[in-house]
Amino acid sequence: MSRSVAIVQARVGSSRLPNKVFLKVGELLLIERVINVLKHSSEINDIVVATTLKEQDDIIIEWCLENKIKYFRGPEDDVLKRYYDCALNFKADIIIRITADDPFKDYLLIDKMIKLFKQKTLDFLCNNNPPTFPEGADIEIFNLKTLKKMHTNAKGEFQREHVTQFCHQNKSLFKYQNLKSKEDFSQYRLTIDTPLDLDFCNKLCYLLPNLKSKNLPLQQIINVLQRNKDFALSNITEKRSDMFKKQQ
């Protein structure tokens, strides 16, 4: 039976919003909210926080120990190597890539995608190329063989830092699929890179009280955004990740 492992990449050294993983989103820390989503999944067998070897990230390890969360340490900039070594260490067959700055991941969508990945025996499944889900609802799933191929062949700094870029840029080498949303919600931004993003996500939590302390399916969050259209686009001026410009 294959082991599905969610690897959550996290560090405190963000240039635009330092220490953001320990900032509050609603009533929960950002990293706590991300982990809680994954705990609701019925398809994920293990959750690992993968951080760097830098001393400043010791605080992440301390949090993991306090909360009984598994962890791994690897290079700061070569995130692809960090993923590969982590996957080997935890004997992962299927890897779900999660970034620790996305508080509104959807465990129902994650489970749907893991099932689809298995049913179609894919090498790589994503929902962000081209994006039709909100930024921050991105999910990428790949097997160990694919991760090894990316690790072996990715050469440039961009490909090493962004983990899956070799696959996105060489789709023909893989059994690759992108899952599209029934409607295009890519105009919404549900990730935290800046103080404006943090303010937006906190206001979103208070528009729907259950969001303050719980994780809700993405569609319920989108319903709130569609009912509050002026607010919903109030952080779209923030720069979208360079990843989306180069991966196609």
What is the model's pTM?
0.94
* DSSP letters for 27-84: TEEHHHHHHHHHHT-SS--EEEEEEESSGGGHHHHHHHHHTT-EEEEE-SS-HHHHHH
d(CA 64, CA 32): 10
Question: Could you give the domains of the chain?
Answer: 4-246 (3.90.550.10)
Average pLDDT on 32-51 reads 97
With cut-offs at 50, 70 and 90, classify the pLDDT of residue 10: very high
User: What letter does residue 127 receive in the DSSP assignment?
Assistant: S
Query: For the segment 113-155, what is each residue's pLDDT rounded down to a tens digit?
Result: 999 999 999 999 999 999 999 999 999 999 999 999 999 999 9
In this prediction, what percent of the chain has a pLDDT beyond 90? 86
- Two tokens, residue 59: 């605080």
Cβ neighbors of 41 (< 8 A, separation 6 or more) are: 6, 107, 110, 111, 114
Angle at CA of residue 214, ends 223 and 219, nearest 5°: 20
Residue-level pLDDT at 242: 56
User: Mean pLDDT, the chain, as a whole number?
Assistant: 93
- Average pLDDT of 209-232? 89
